[in-house]
Amino acid sequence: MADNITIKLKKQDTEFIKKICAEFRNDKGELINVLHKTQEHFGYLPAEVQELIAAELKMSVAKVYGVVTFYSFFTMVPKGKNPISICTGTACYVRGAENVLDEFKKQLGIEVGEVTTDGEFSLSCLRCVGACGLAPVVMVGEKTYGRVAPEMVADIVAEYK
């Protein structure tokens, strides 16, 4: 798994991040908004990005890192073009989410937290998406699939190829 991804920020990336921070008046209280907007641009929040945000908002890198790792929306690793998330909350787990997850791993040839070699898909687990009546639930990007069974996985993947 690629948790320790390092990147070299280009000058235009640095300027873009500084511009986002300035849009929010370099206000510490706007950290989540700054992170959201920055992640929209980069697709993820590597350490170098977090360090620059911390410097611009005049706060510790530990504080920024704490927020990034606390909220499941934020990610420190790149996601695929079609990020697949399997809910593993109680209702989904009891109704077979683990088997669905295993089938996605098999179909895509990746583990949780990884991206396919072509960059098309990434795989992650969520604790709860709030659709327990549809368990087990899978999300591909913003699209939600309910009552997913392992035999449905190939068709779901095929929709995005």
Please report, rounded to a whole number, the percentage of residues in the chain having pLDDT higher than 90.
Answer: 81
pLDDT at residue 2, as a whole number: 42
Place of tokens 């959201």: 36
The whole-number average pLDDT for the span 134-152 is 96
Looking at domain 11-70, its CATH architecture is Orthogonal Bundle (1.10)
Q: Please give the single-letter amino acid code of residue 48.
A: E
Tens digit of each residue's pLDDT (9 = 90 or more) over 82-132: 999 999 999 999 999 999 999 999 999 999 989 999 999 999 998 888 899
Whether the predicted model's global pTM rises above the 0.75 cut: no
Please report, rounded to a whole number, the percentage of residues in the chain having pLDDT higher than 70.
Answer: 96
| Among the listed residues 2, 13, 4, 98, the one whose alpha carbon sits nearest the alpha carbon of residue 49 | 13
Looking at domain 82-158, its CATH architecture is 3-Layer(aba) Sandwich (3.40)
pLDDT at residue 127, as a whole number: 85
pLDDT at residue 6, as a whole number: 58
CA dist 118 → 26, 44, 81 (Å): 37, 17, 9
CA distance 32 to 80: 22
CA dist 24 → 33, 73, 82, 110, 157 (Å): 8, 20, 30, 38, 39
CA distance 106 to 20: 40
Residue spans in the chain of domains classed CATH 1.10.10: 11-70
CB 102 within 8 A of CB 142: no
Instruction: Between 129 and 153, name the one with better pLDDT.
Output: 153
Residue spans in the chain of domains classed CATH 3.40.30.10: 82-158
